[in-house]
A = this chain, B = another copy of it.
Amino acid sequence: MPVELRAGDAGFAEAFDRLINDKRETSHDVNAVVAEILEAVRRDGDAAVLAYTKRFDRLDLTAETLRVTADEVEAAYAACDPDLLDVLELAASRIRAYHERQLPESFHYTDDAGVRLGSRWRAVQAAGLYVPGGTAAYPSSVLMNTLPAKVAGVQRLVMCVPTPDGKLNPLVLAAAKIAGVDEIYRIGGAQAVAAMAYGTATIAPVDKIVGPGNAFVAAAKRQVFGTVGIDSIAGPSEILVVADGANDPTWIAADLLSQAEHDTASQSILITTDAAFGKAVMQAVETLLETLPRAEIARKSWADHGAVVVVDSLDAAVPLVDQVAPEHLELAVDDPEPLAEKITNAGAIFLGRHTPEAIGDYVGGPNHVLPTARSARFSSGLGVVDFMKRTSLLGCDARSLAGIGPAAVKLADAEGLQAHGLSVSLRLGKPGE
């Protein structure tokens, strides 16, 4: 059964701390196996990728058939339910519109000292998206991971998706087509990450790799980090709902279950000002679980990690929310904006009684790749800047160097870095000072 807590009760702080810091993930140490796969791909390129694909996906490919052809993509697209294609197009256009507002601005100016200064944003040259195979191959994730890269201006966008026994969800290919993915390879696991990071004869390397994956993929991403950039390693999903007593308990129960159904390690927490409402939500969860297809997963998540916390006021919820720093935060109250304003740590905030988190998973516009495991304290959802990098620009002429140069020489000397000082003082016409 989920935990029931009341803020202010004896032992509450410890119990709440335990609730949110419980390690929910089972960690599999696959580092050694993954290191071996990465090394093999680095050394043997395509041959290693093909061998691992045969072994893990039972799929006999050649360098020529690694890549999904344009015809296959078209055929998959044509085979999709047209209504679903419309939905993907709607989602894509809303995601694109939101992310276009994230484009950072470069700036250039000359300051009072006559120094030219600038900051210039550019897209990374090539990015790779990992898409898990099987049940976790979500077309919505393809859109969420690729569209920020397209908006950023990434010129070459690669996707790897394993097709165990040759099976591939046509909606995933349709989403890739809609998003504008340039190359798709039917490979997965650590070998796919290695191919994108190091490159092979068939697959040119990329500069950044994003996307969710199993323990092998996560370990591979950690290990290639540095050779390429990576996004954060996603943990199990979380939702925190702050609700007063004026909500329909069934609506809120469905919201809690929408994260619980992802994974038995997911966490759903309700903070409410109304103890009776909290009980009603718990009851509604049980009722919904009776008919939910993924009830087994959701029930375990809710029982192991779920919680209902009763607080005296909405304001009393604020420090608890900041402590959790939830991936998803719903504010199911009449006037959510002032409450949102008081909260510092959350990946995404869903405002009001008519904004279930699932809207943001699909068609809201903001990204659904969000910081988990309390990392919203210091990190952000996936965005356009994750596919860009910033270069600083600095320009002096003889006059402006004469103005600020002597200070640099003094500080360089104080730090014992004489060549630093010399590179400035020579240009000031006073070598060796």
State whether A251 and B427 are in contact (beta carbons under 8 Å apart), knowing that A119-B101, A135-B416, A378-B207 are contacts in the complex. Answer: yes
Decide if A236 is an interface residue (CB 8 Å cutoff).
no
Chain B residues in 8 Å Cβ range of A415: 138-140
In whole angstroms, what is the CA distance A41 to B345 when docked? 26
- In the complex, which residue of chain B has the Cβ closest to the Cβ of A410? B87
Cross-interface CB contact of A411 among B88, B298, B337, B356, cutoff 8 Å? B88
State whether A251 and B426 are in contact (beta carbons under 8 Å apart), knowing that A349-B394, A378-B124, A394-B365 are contacts in the complex. Answer: yes
Decide if A78 is an interface residue (CB 8 Å cutoff).
no
Per CB-CB distance, the 9 closest pairs between chain A and chain B, nearest first, are A229-B378, A351-B395, A366-B392, A356-B423, A380-B390, A254-B423, A358-B420, A257-B419, A362-B408
In whole angstroms, what is the CA distance A337 to B347 when docked? 39
- In the complex, which residue of chain B has the Cβ closest to the Cβ of A425? B254
Decide if A47 is an interface residue (CB 8 Å cutoff).
no
For chain A, the count of residues having a C-beta within 8 Å of the partner chain is 124
Contact A393 B349 (CB under 8 A): yes
- In the complex, which residue of chain B has the Cβ closest to the Cβ of A143? B411
Chain B residues in 8 Å Cβ range of A378: 124, 207-208, 228-229, 389
Q: In whole Å, how far is A115's beta carbon from the nearest beta carbon of chain B? A: 7
Decide if A401 is an interface residue (CB 8 Å cutoff).
yes
Chain B residues in 8 Å Cβ range of A293: 416, 418
Binds B, one of A89-97, A177-185, A306-314: A89-97
Decide if A102 is an interface residue (CB 8 Å cutoff).
yes
Contact A426 B248 (CB under 8 A): yes
Interface string of A88-131 (1 = CB under 8 A from B): 10110010011001101001010101011101001011000000
Cross-interface CB contact of A377 among B97, B207, B373, B417, cutoff 8 Å? B207
Does more than half of chain A's interface fall in helix, strand or loop, or is it mixed? mixed
Decide if A71 is an interface residue (CB 8 Å cutoff).
no
Chain B residues in 8 Å Cβ range of A212: none
- In the complex, which residue of chain B has the Cβ closest to the Cβ of A126? B377
Contact B383 A390 (CB under 8 A): yes
Cross-interface CB contact of A365 among B115, B354, B431, cutoff 8 Å? B115
Interface string of A344-375 (1 = CB under 8 A from B): 11111111111111111111111100110101
Contact B360 A394 (CB under 8 A): yes
Contact A420 B354 (CB under 8 A): no
Interface string of A281-314 (1 = CB under 8 A from B): 0000000100011100010000000000000000
Contact A258 B417 (CB under 8 A): yes
State whether A361 and B408 are in contact (beta carbons under 8 Å apart), knowing that A228-B378, A377-B124 are contacts in the complex. Answer: yes
- In the complex, which residue of chain B has the Cβ closest to the Cβ of A428? B354
Cross-interface CB contact of A97 among B111, B229, B322, cutoff 8 Å? B111
Contact B389 A376 (CB under 8 A): yes
- Identify which of A84, A109, A122, A354 gathers the most chain B CB atoms within 10 Å of its CB: A354
Cross-interface CB contact of A385 among B113, B226, B385, cutoff 8 Å? B385
Q: In whole Å, how far is A306's beta carbon from the nearest beta carbon of chain B? A: 13
Contact A117 B366 (CB under 8 A): yes
Q: In whole Å, how far is A385's beta carbon from the nearest beta carbon of chain B? A: 7
Decide if A424 is an interface residue (CB 8 Å cutoff).
yes
Chain B residues in 8 Å Cβ range of A226: 233, 373, 375
